[in-house]
Amino acid sequence: MSNLNLDRSFDFPADVPEPGLATRAWRFSNVVWLAAYVYVGYKGTQLWTRFIDDSNKNELYRRQDLRAAQALNRTALRLEGLLIKACQFIATRADVLPDEWVSTLSGLHDRVPPRPFAMIRNQVERELRRPLDEVYAEFDPVPLASASLAQVHQARLHDGRRCAVKVQYPGIDGIVRADLRNMTTVLYWLAKLERDFDYRVLMREALKYIPMELDFIHEADNSATMRANFAADLNVIVPEVYREFTTRRVLTMELLEGIKVTDVAALERAGIDKHLVAQKLVEIFCDQVLRDGFFHADPHPGNILVQPGPKIVLLDFGLAKDFPPTFRDGIVRLTFSILTANRDGIIAAFHELGFRTRNGNPDTLLAFADLFLGSTVKSNKAYADKDLIEQFNEELPRAIRANPVVEVPADVLLVGRMMGLLSGLGKSLDSQVNLFTTIMPYAQRLMMALPPAASSDAAANTPAGK
């Protein structure tokens, strides 16, 4: 039915079984019902607002936002798995989405109903191939956090090291695979109904990256890389992974504590300046994307803790990306060109990164540049202002319909996702970061290190006195 070949795009291990036919049908019917309920609700609200005065429109949409968010929350808690993961992403977008969506779904970051300890114990013993008490001297049956794919328990090894043990839910990989198939089908039909809501290109990228989050060996490798990259920065802390007690479905790592990055009241009680936290976050991700070419693509609030200093604790590297060197260079050139308002440099950088439009007209690429970074720099905003996003959301579909983007590199979509999450965190922290003065030194320094032929055009067009 869909034009996406799931089995070829979704790289699951061979031993991942899908749930039975009855379970798949039940989950599919839930997803279809949810999509229909939300779609019809907004279409009905849209039609009804034609007959009422403007003073009542906002209240009508506010009620529909709340109904839709509550329906999604109920369905996610009922189905768990991939839908909770989607809700966690939605809840980070305080910069763009209505408060009704963010507040309703934010509890799913770390308050997902936990699985029974007996199930978790069996999973650990099956994966590590020995009794639980042979591996851990202590293992708290009450989880520290429970999320969409796994839950984390506090434990202590026999040598005294305190650790956090992340345990993947039994059978969750098969459920996620079935959910991806269901969501692919729903998005296919949504694109048929509404041309402005064709998200199949995003689905294709989900098919590539979600399996990474289900492989804890891959996550351990990512964590080791990030730990090495920030070894010289005492204000960035990444937990050590204990490899001898780690498998594809169980991850044992150093236990680190801190305040959840969006708990502003707790930050204030601890005497931590939220504005310094916001500044440090931007600098950390500049280091990752522009300096290292390796970045944490899932910086939602449950994955970032703060200690006095402020020191930033980074957790959960299931979704991290290592750029090829040429791609990182392209991101540097694109960033520098946007900061210097170099129109030709922006277009050239997008082409180098792999963007293609149907007729080659650059207008759509320039609109993407505003989404990527330009609008916040132009407006001197520390995060994506809601009014700018609404304006962009109106203008971009028109530009795409006139000249469709027929090829979007997957790595850029991950960068965009990461920037969206950071923008939401910036809104929560009332960020005062000046993006131009923060990012420009990185871009200038790295542009100077690029081959002269690659950097000369952009450097020649640097405007004076920006």
As annotated, the active-site residues are 298
- Phi, psi of 405, deg, nearest 5: -80, 115
Residue 94 DSSP code? T
Residue entry with tokens 């790595």: 411
- Phi, psi of 289, deg, nearest 5: -80, -50
404 preceded by a cis bond (ω within 30 of 0): no
- Phi, psi of 246, deg, nearest 5: -130, 135
Pairing of strands 236-237, 311-314: parallel
In this structure, the chain runs to a length of 466
How far is 445 from 287, CA to CA, in rounded Å? 12
- Phi, psi of 431, deg, nearest 5: -60, 140
How far is 228 from 28, CA to CA, in rounded Å? 43
What Rg, from alpha-carbon coordinates, does the chain have?
A: 23
The answer to whether 141 and 260 have CB atoms below 8 angstroms apart is no
Residue 123 DSSP code? H
Query: Which residues lie below 8 Å from residue 169, measured CB to CB, with a gap of 6+?
Result: 80, 115, 119, 123, 149, 150, 151
What are 380-386's contacts with CB under 8 Å, separation 24+? 380/434, 380/436, 381/435, 382/278, 382/426, 382/431, 382/432, 382/433, 382/434, 382/435, 383/95, 383/422, 383/423, 383/424, 383/426, 383/427, 383/431, 384/95, 384/96, 384/420, 384/423, 385/95, 386/95, 386/96
How far is 153 from 138, CA to CA, in rounded Å? 10
- What are the tokens at 382? 């520390």
Q: Which of 175, 214, 203 has the alpha carbon at shortest distance from 78?
A: 175
Q: Which of 120, 101, 114 has the alpha carbon at shortest distance from 146?
A: 114
**b/e per residue 25-34 (b: at least 16 CB within 10 A):** eebbebbeeb
Query: Which residues lie below 8 Å from residue 1, measured CB to CB, with a gap of 6+?
Result: 185, 188
E strand or H helix at 167: strand 162-168
